[in-house]
Amino acid sequence: MTHVVACRSCGSAPLEPILSLGHTPLANGFVTAKDLERPEATYPLDLAFCASCSLVQITEEVSPDKLFRDYIYFSSYSETMTAHVRRLAQSLIASRSLGPRSLVVELASNDGYLLKNYLEAGIPVLGIEPARNIAKHARAFGIATREEFFSADLAAMLRAEGLTADVVHAHNVLAHVPDLNGFVSGIRTLLKPAGLAVIEVPYVRDMLDGCEFDTIYHEHLCYFSLGSLDRCFARNGLAIIDVTRVPIHGGSLQLHVAHAGQGKSASRVRALRSEEEDWGARAMAPYLSFAEAVERARRELREMLSRIKLEGRRIAGYGASAKGSTLLNYCGIGRETLDFIVDRSTAKQDRFAPGSHLPVCKPERLLQAMPDYVLLLAWNIADEILKQEQGYRERGGRFIIPLPRPKVVL
């Protein structure tokens, strides 16, 4: 673990403290039955603000090898995510006139959930994915995948091999990167002169407005505003030419990025820059208000669950997600409150959630056990889950959506 005292983007110090979520285990550090009795490592989870470039970030770094070489999150299990990237790929194939002579590269390509849409259209692809277990799945579907962390050095190596990209995708990876400037400069190296990088990151304003403190965990080093991204890309020879707010992961920015000087910024970029200035993205006030809202949400959720338990009701959880790990550990919710968690991912089933050590079961367990309530830990795909569990709801089961304020859904 490394303690960070200077901004990962601009290098300024000191960072201004916003919020401490205490010491927590790694959010995807699911435990096997044989390891339940062993001590579980925990790490500080503290959020801070850079007054110079407005980047929000945590102040500890766990080794990327420890976090990502053997990874338990498979993107294909989310129907919401797979539908989103399918539409995006189809749009880019048409708008960029991509074909057999093109190349699409995804950084942190996971199990190939995005690149398979290009491959099916006859467009060459390359995935960069450091998790060996997940890269193996992608290759089984015919997706060329290199088991590497993307960096400036790897980009130079690929370029020396004659590989440059018409489109570079980087979805939900920029927040994971310790060397932010090296990663962004690597995108510039890999991108053809007229190429386009499509980058998605959770949006810090949505995190604050929705009290989404469970987005904070050790894999997520940074929490971006458009302004903080603008400054980082400009420093590394790139420019944001378009931006769209999308609902993925509780609210994200989808950026279209090109070589500096290769296109004018769309009106949406200028409009969002202006909105952020009015909102106060470069001042501490919104972030300190967020810290107060987080404590209130924690208190209200604990009070609601306590009342339900005092009534003799049973509660389970849905979604063995990284978000859920932060929420359970910060709020101090464990086996005294929840009976179990269910999740569709076979990689998580029959394991135990980090910290709380709640058993992770198949979704069918809900109908078998019929708990009175289910705490929706993967609330960011609530519509998808509520639809999938219509049978449980028809039998009287109720869901609790924890954020921004806890509420019950019948």
Report the DSSP pairing between strands 145-146 and 165-171: unpaired
Within-domain flag for 173: yes
This prediction's pTM: 0.93
Within-domain flag for 136: yes
**What percent of the chain lies above the pLDDT cut of 70?**
100
> What are 308-319's pLDDT values in tens digits?
999 999 999 999
> What are 167-213's pLDDT values in tens digits?
999 999 999 999 999 999 999 999 999 999 999 999 999 999 999 99
**Are residues 137 and 258 both part of a single domain?**
yes
**Are residues 353 and 237 both part of a single domain?**
no
pLDDT, average across residues 24-48: 95
**Are residues 232 and 134 both part of a single domain?**
yes
Within-domain flag for 134: yes
- Over 80: is that where the pLDDT of 307 sits? yes
**Are residues 221 and 355 both part of a single domain?**
no
Tell me the residue range of the domain where 174 lies.
68-283
Q: How confident is the model at residue 244 (pLDDT cuts 50, 70, 90)?
A: very high
- Average pLDDT of the chain? 95
φ/ψ (deg, to 5) at 99 = -155, -165
**Are residues 150 and 265 both part of a single domain?**
yes
Q: Does the N-terminal peptide bond of residue 371 adopt cis geometry, omega within 30 degrees of 0?
A: no
Given a contact cutoff of 8 angstroms between Cβ atoms, the answer to whether 240 and 251 are in contact is: no
- Over 80: is that where the pLDDT of 154 sits? yes
200 CB burial (10 A radius; 0-12, 13-18, 19+)? buried
